[in-house]
Structure 1
Amino acid sequence: MTVARRHGAGWEARAALPVGDPAGMVAGLLAGGDALALGLDLPLGLPRAWAAGRREAGFPAFLRGLYRFPGFLHVNDGLETVSPDRPFYPARGIRGMTRAAHAAALGLSGPHELSRLCDRATAERPAGAPLFWTLGANQTGKAAIAAWGGWLGPALAAGAPYRLWPFEGPLRALLAPGRAVLAETYPAEAMRQLGIRLQGSKRAQGVRLESAPALRAAMARLGVSACPALERAIASGFGQDAAGEDRLDSLLGLLCVISVLEGARPDFIPDDPWVRRWEGWVLGQTALPRPSAPASAAPYPEGPGGHDLTQSLP
């Protein structure tokens, strides 16, 4: 997580730290009675085609009642056990896996129904991975499983002072002393919003190092100053270890949240009841998806499962 606090007309950002226990992290940040805007690099919402069969009022109510459906977060080994009540798949790579077969096992009409509106390709970026997919470097299913089951569901059921954007209203309207407002951020989307372009993969320290001038420029526009430790991290390309990419993503998410709070980006929410009740949206995103392509039996990408741990970004 990367934390920034408002000081006068600007913000002071600290260097990234491990999240630890998410509930304890949020409680600690709220202990002083401040209002907290928390960006999360994980899905907040469910596809409308799947949600059409639910009786809850929307996604927040679904999370509060998640404890009643313990099998929902189980990752299926094969399609024979996939169902609307156990949608996450697969536990390991299987040659010939297709989105069409996964969609059919869930009772959906085609692979396009696996994705939320905000996951689909726009004119500005390619599509993200479908929510229920749990294999490969770009999947987000395991982050959802970890966060929903290990933190958000239990916390909301216990009455934690959280509000979920955009389901419960605009970002600034939800902020209140002693309350955390949670919003979904997406690092690649945040880079586009901030005007940062990388010449290569952000997994490489050298590429991250080359982003330093653009990062500093974005921070200056938003009135964000870096503490000495964060400035050293930026100047070093966020370190040589594998967590360097996570530290960069954490800062990108933080700047995304601040850009909306400062009015540099609109608090855009599509005028779509499914988005506002079930699917959610990516903070700061204004581009709507391209028209859905015809359903196909396109194969899922194969490869080692990657668990992209939650990036909590106050």
Structure 2
Amino acid sequence: MLSLAAHADWSIDPRKRWLTIARRGTTGWHLTAPRLVGEVATLRTRLVREAAGGAVALGADLPIGLPRAYAAIRPEADFLQFLRRLGGLPGFFTVCARLDEIGPDRPFYPARGVAGMTRLSHALALGLADASALSRDCDRATAERPAGAPLFWTLGANQSGKAAIAAWQSLILPALLHGTPANRVGLRLWPFEGAFRSLLAPGSVALAETYPAEALRHLGIRLRGSKRRQADRRASAAALMAAADRQAAVPDNAMRRAMLDGFGADAAGEDRFDSVVGVLCVLNVLAGRRPDTAPADPWIQRWEGWVLGQTALPVKPGASPTMSVKLATSPALPGVPA
């Protein structure tokens, strides 16, 4: 039985990793105010404990999967097998400082800013055809939202590489490898192991990738201005509360105050905002309003992964900007309003 839905807005900086939780009640969900993720190694165990042994649906704003052009040069059969073999690649997560250090077993770059470095040079050093080969399909721009950053790039405000390193090392790999008594809680990865709702099992965590810019559109929230500004976040409070109401999610007093305040004036305000948008995205999928499956492309389902609830396909050169993919949706969970 599903007891808990949660979303972690991820970052390389622990001070900017925020978690929002929705607890299942008899008539809907109870939303609690965002809090820091805390120790990553114990996150799964803590979530299952809060769920009283029930299933946990967890979304996280981080890449879960590999670009297909890179996957094509790997010897493993799929992403899950690749993850299980990372224990034999001790240098994989070491970010390269120079192009001549880059290779299939050390793909992350650059360790620091260097004059003349480009994503094209990064791709070529990896043996890929061009810079676009660094991106997964779900990283690419759609008619509905801008592109996300490629997985292996580790420089700039929009980079996702170092955040992925932190999550893969401390959250995902311990659950898939040998584990310890402190972190033996099961973790199932969407979409590599099936439809999201099919992965929900007592005492385990189903983890799916999210993208806040995508989730805002799923929820019908149009943020005017910038989420980095408290005033603009504050102006979206009514839309955010309406989105919560559509999910039968009732904010507690602390959450309501946070929404009305725009999630604070400090630099982590945008992260708290994203964590709330993310958990509402998860609830939207659980209710069956958005698909819990990925496109029927073997590369996506076995290697690249997908963004939870996304239906818009990436815009290809010369393609119609209104293309979208129709995905099968499993029935809504019992007791969750559709």
Q: Tell me, yes or no, whether TM beats 0.5.
A: yes
Deviations 1:173-197 (A, max 9, x none): 1101111000001111111111111
Q: What runs of 5+ residues in structure 2 fail to find an aligned partner? A: 1-18, 319-338
Specify the SS of the correspondent of 1:123. coil
Deviations 1:127-162 (A, max 9, x none): 111110001111100011111122311221026411
1:36-185 alignment, distance < 5 Å: 36-157=56-177, 158=179, 160-185=185-210
Residue identity over aligned pairs, in percent, reads: 61
Higher deviation after alignment, 237-246 or 23-32:
23-32
Which of residues 307, 310, 318 in structure 2 aligns to 1:285? 310
Deviations 1:230-280 (A, max 9, x none): 111001100111111110010011011000001121224111001001100
Higher RCO by CA contacts (8 Å cutoff, separation 6 or greater):
1
1:212-223 alignment, distance < 5 Å: 212-223=237-248
Find the counterpart in structure 2 of residue 256 from structure 1: 281
- Residue 162 of structure 1 contacts residue 181 of structure 1 at CA under 8 Å; is this kept in 2? yes
Specify the SS of the correspondent of 2:147. coil
What value does the CA root-mean-square deviation take over the aligned residues?
Answer: 1.3
Letter in 2 for 1:281: W
Quote how far apart the aligned CAs of 1:217 are. Answer: 0.7
Find the counterpart in structure 2 of residue 14 from structure 1: 32
Task: For 2:39 and 2:83, locate their aligned partners in 1 and report how far apart those are by CA, in whole Å.
Answer: 18
- Residue 66 of structure 1 contacts residue 149 of structure 1 at CA under 8 Å; is this kept in 2? no
Aligned residue pairs total: 293
Quote how far apart the aligned CAs of 1:292 are. Answer: 5.1
Find the counterpart in structure 2 of residue 306 from structure 1: none
Deviations 1:1-51 (A, max 9, x none): 000011123100101111111232221221211100010111000011111
Letter in 1 for 2:249: V
TM-score (ref. length: structure 2): 0.84
Higher deviation after alignment, 87-96 or 240-249:
87-96
Specify the SS of the correspondent of 1:129. coil
Q: What runs of 5+ residues in structure 1 fail to find an aligned partner? A: 294-314
Letter in 1 for 2:78: G
